[in-house]
Chains A and B, each alone.
Chain A
Amino acid sequence: MTRDLSITINGEEREFAVAEFRSLLDALRNEIGLTGTKKGCDVGDCGACTVILNGKPVNACLVLAVEADGGAVETIEGLQAAPDKPSPLQESFMVHGGAQCGFCTPGVIMMAKALLDDNPEPSEHDIRFALAGNICRCTGYTKIFDAVRAAADEMRKAPAP
């Protein structure tokens, strides 16, 4: 059984039909073609598929696409202000070495965005706690923490217009 859905994805309203059992992750990757969101485990253990649904970070593999009907989803592809302009958070991950293999990176960045949206001045513990469900196997997290901390500082200095 398929259902017709309407979801605002990165600010653009998308209408599509999807099987009722399909996860939001599979819908984003396979129906919409947004493959930036990664599938690391498909059971909610690794955080690689983190997206922001109606303002809250979720594991897209644990949400059915039909649950997002009528809602708004932000993915890694929607973070840039313009095609050649990474957001301050993305820029910070580049500068501070927060991405190595890059497979966990979209999920980590979306989780960090959700954190900073909610708490622009996070403590070290806040950053660690926010990223507790995002597995990174390359960096030892040191440079991820550096990147989030520096992005928070940067964004406070120059708030988004």
Chain B
Amino acid sequence: MNIGLSPAAWKRADADLTIVGRSVKRTDTLEKVTGQARYAGDLALPGMLHGKIKRSTIAHALIKRIDASKALALKGVKAVLTHENVPRVLHYGSPHPRSASVTKDQYILDRKVRYWGEGVAAVAAISEEIAEEALALIEVEYEPLPAVFTLEEAMAEGAPQIHDNGLSGNNVLPTVVVTRGDVEKGFAEADLILEGEYHLGRPTPAYMEPNVCVCRWDGNGKLTVWSSTQTAFMVRGALSEVLGVPLNKVRVIVDHMGGGFGAKQDLFQHEFLCALLARNTARPVRMEFSRKETFLGGRSRHPGVVWLKQGFSKSGAITARQARLTLNSGAYGSHGPGVTNVGTAALTSLYRCENVDLVGRCVYTNSPIAGAFRGYGVVQTYYALDLQMDEAAERLGFDPAEFRLMNAVREGDIAPSNHPIVGHGLEDCIRRGMAETDWPRMRKRARQDGVKRRGWGVGCEMHGSSAYPGIKEQGNAVVKMNEDGTVTLLTGTAGLGTGAHTALSQIVAEEIGVPFESVSVVQGDTDVVPWDIGAFASHTTYMGGRAAQIAAAEVKRQVLDHVAPKLGARPEDCVIRDGIILAVGTNRSISLREAVAPAKGMPAAQLIGVGTYSPRKSYSFAAHFVEVEVDTETGEIAVTQVVPVHEIGRVIHPIAAQGQIEGGIQQGIGHTLSEDYQIDLKTGRSLNPSFVDYKMPLAMDMPPIRTIILETAPDPGGPYGAKGVGEDPIIAIGPAIANAVADAIGVRFRHYPITPEQVRAALRDKKSGAE
């Protein structure tokens, strides 16, 4: 049983991490690269029907008459739902029922239509083609109402009210107000005051897997739902509440899902419709959105406007910050209040300022629904903040990166969540980025004056892991050791594709002391795994990982209690390393497999640990350094290289963390330069609901990315000091690009996306202004 290592060597090795921090082979990728991974839409059940949704062709109207008789008469049609035959229960479209920041403003199907493309009826038929045909046979007569699409229209005196839910007038959701210090005093002390309006476009997540679910009721009245969602337990809760079925009669299953980026925290009407169609027909029903429907019935980032005014002293300090954030929620509240809250509060930080006066508003319009999307309000407000910082640096004569360094938040500063920041992550990121890019020398380089001009810009961000204090979250895990020493982790966190389940397995393996391959994950079945709030807010590894670590530590304790006497040692004198238990200071050891196996005439001990963790919050930081090339003839902006520096505490899986960063940059480049989901401002009709017309950066467009990850400010609340990374990368890239454009051509744009037409127009204006 002697494994040939001295006790001293064991002790030393035990202090080092062997699995955490390594890019082990992900637990989910073998299935993915071989086509075996099952997504909700891959399911086919015997007797399954196909559901389709009829969508409105008007943005604001009452349904005067809806007649499904011709559709029902079509051969192969099994059921039709309209507002006349579905339960009328007001519900939260975004299922955070315990959060104060959501609006209860949706029905499964309503008598009223609030945006172009809203579902007004649903059909189940024996084939998709027949279901499509039936949709066309449903007759809907609308009584049009005046519609409002812009913030100005919706907030105007006498504007039509989109909801009658007791909120104050002018379609404005409850306002967020954050104040610290005294802004009047701050502005009075300022040597320079900058003020600007920053306009925000409407990017959408454009996840690759269209929304889909399959519903089946069994003979005992139990509903099973296979769905592509980030929040299986929240979907279960919403279905239970709206359909009037207890939670133990609703089971939500999510195996693999093809991206969500935040948006798939909502319900999209189809979960309810599919469940009701399945109940009415007593057959399983599958309902899958077309790509067009993922635009029409999906969720975008909130468009809107940030008005920002800041005072600066000659020495480079920020003396006051005043902001008014106004976001367009679209037809329903969804995450609007939460996004407004987080985006507004974020302006208290990033760059130090003692005097702040911030107000955030979110406004109903008859536009497509905005929802949760990676960067959740912070993308919007930090874009404004970091563009204005760049302008201030120029006006005050500071280097833009140095200027950020001077003002960067640091250890002990009060974070937007109202607790002190741990470490100096932001400063570390800025310094490292400056060193990597040889920033001072590069800033001094000769400027080009040809057709194509290059420029460099920097943008920074910080983002919280977990939604605290807006939502009191909880992650749970169960860890079991099997009688051969292998380990099973049950987690409620969803697998969006980030590699989080791999990270959780690494944490469990590290904590117990078994090889990574000894841990397997059970996930995505609300009947089996412990409750979890869902995968969002960059908290899966931070919160779910810590819960898994706690559960694993409990199993380890049980193992050592069980085994130590056999080694003639106290549990606290034993260590587990690579599946071997050793009594330190002796040469007595035993393999886990042997130690926990059933003995003759004796069953194996049940070794099981439960971990529950309610996190506070940690902040991750980043500084992105970007080079662009602007073609002054075509107006095209090309991002030519990106050096993202992220401080995220302990890195559990380096390649997965880099993947998050690089993917976030891709989406952020899109937001800043090309992605904008547009509607016709007369009718509300969607103008570009396809991958051809909604333009994203693809293989030919992506610049080289030199990702740098720092671990200089680990958080005591995360597993082994880990923090979140999912949302961070999409925030800093946008302002870095806009600031690089300013460096290249001397034009400061104050909006996104920045299109070639606008670049050309701005250069023309600049030229005529100069003449």
Q: Interface of A with B (CB < 8 Å)?
A: 21, 29-30, 33-43, 45-46, 48, 75-77, 79-80, 86, 90-91, 93-106, 109, 127-129, 131-132, 134-145
Contacts and interface: CB of A to CB of B under 8 A. Distances in A.
B212 to A, nearest CB: 10
Contacts of B33: 76, 86, 90-91, 93-94, 98-99, 102, 105, 109
A138 B699 contact: no
Contact of B665 (A37, A86, A135, A140): A140
Interface string B486-499: 00000000001111
Q: Is the interface of A mostly helix, strand, loop or mixed?
A: loop
B209 A103 contact: yes
A138 B663 contact: yes
Nearest to A109: B33
Given A38-B209, A135-B691, A139-B663, A102 B496 contact: no
Nearest to A102: B32
B667 interface: yes
A45 B690 contact: yes
Contact of B290 (A42, A101, A127): A42
Contacts of A38: 39, 208-209, 258
B34 A79 contact: yes
21 contacts: A30-B44, A34-B35, A35-B39, A36-B36, A38-B258, A40-B210, A41-B691, A42-B290, A45-B691, A46-B291, A77-B34, A86-B30, A97-B656, A97-B659, A100-B259, A101-B208, A101-B209, A102-B33, A134-B699, A135-B696, A138-B208
Given A35-B38, A35-B42, A101-B258, A41 B666 contact: no
Q: Which residue among B661, B662, B699 has the maximum number of chain A CB atoms within 10 Å of its CB? A: B699
B471 interface: no
B700 interface: yes
A97 B497 contact: no
Contact of A36 (B34, B257, B658, B702): B34
Contacts of B656: 97
B142 interface: no
Contact of A128 (B32, B655, B696, B699): B699
A109 B210 CA distance: 20
B698 A132 contact: yes
B655 A135 contact: no
A100 B209 contact: no
Interface stretch (B21-29, B583-591, B620-628): B21-29
Contact of A75 (B28, B35, B129, B288): B35
Contacts of A40: 208-210, 291
B650 interface: no
Contacts of A86: 30, 33-34
Nearest to A45: B691
Contacts of B288: 39
A22 B667 CA distance: 34
A129 B690 contact: no
B207 interface: yes
Contacts of A79: 34-35
Contacts of A43: 291, 690
A27 to B, nearest CB: 13
Nearest to A130: B699
B141 to A, nearest CB: 31
Given A97-B26, A102-B28, 12 more contacts: A45-B692, A76-B34, A94-B29, A132-B698, A132-B700, A134-B699, A136-B699, A139-B662, A140-B705, A141-B698, A142-B658, A143-B655
B299 interface: no
B659 A95 contact: no
Nearest to B41: A39
B696 A102 contact: no
Contacts of B655: 96-97, 143
B206 interface: yes
B2 to A, nearest CB: 34
B42 A102 contact: no
A79 B34 CA distance: 7
Contacts of A41: 291, 690-691
Given A34-B35, A128-B699, A142-B662, A102 B290 contact: no
Interface string B36-70: 11110110100000000000000000000000000
Given A45-B691, A86-B33, A106-B35, A33 B44 contact: yes
Given A80-B34, A97-B658, A103 B666 contact: no
Contacts of A98: 33
Closest 4 CB pairs of A and B: A36-B35, A101-B497, A103-B258, A140-B662
Contacts of B539: none
A83 B290 CA distance: 33
A129 B261 CA distance: 27
Given A45-B291, A97-B656, A141 B34 contact: no
Contacts of B666: 137, 139-141
B662 A143 contact: yes
Nearest to A90: B33
B698 A135 contact: yes
Contact of A140 (B256, B290, B663): B663
Contacts of B210: 39-40
Contacts of B690: 41, 43, 45
B30 A101 contact: no
A145 B659 CA distance: 12
A43 B291 CA distance: 9
A128 B703 CA distance: 11
B44 A102 contact: no
Contact of A101 (B34, B36, B129, B207): B207
Contacts of B32: 99, 102, 105
Looking at A21, A79, A99, A136, the one whose CB has the most chain B CB atoms below 10 A away is: A99
Interface string B299-343: 000000000000000000000000000000000000000000000
Contacts of A105: 32-33
A94 B700 contact: no
Contact of B35 (A30, A77, A101, A104): A77
B207 A100 contact: no
A101 to B, nearest CB: 3
A99 B28 CA distance: 9
B659 A141 contact: no
B659 A100 contact: yes
A139 B664 CA distance: 8
A37 B266 CA distance: 27
A142 B32 CA distance: 18
Given A33-B44, A101-B257, A138-B659, A128 B34 contact: no
B691 A46 contact: yes
A90 B208 contact: no
A97 B704 CA distance: 16
Interface string B686-711: 00001110001011101011010000
Contacts of A142: 658, 662, 702, 704-705, 707
A99 B256 CA distance: 12
A36 B32 CA distance: 8
A40 to B, nearest CB: 5
A102 B37 contact: yes
A140 B668 CA distance: 10
B30 A131 contact: no
Contact of B659 (A48, A106, A139): A139
Interface string B633-670: 00000000000000000000001101101111111000
- The listed residue with most A CB atoms (<10 A of its CB), out of B30, B35, B37, B497, is B35
Interface string B744-760: 00000000000000000
B432 to A, nearest CB: 19
A28 to B, nearest CB: 10
Contact of B702 (A80, A99, A140): A140
B37 A95 contact: no
A139 B497 CA distance: 10
B345 to A, nearest CB: 28
Nearest to A46: B691
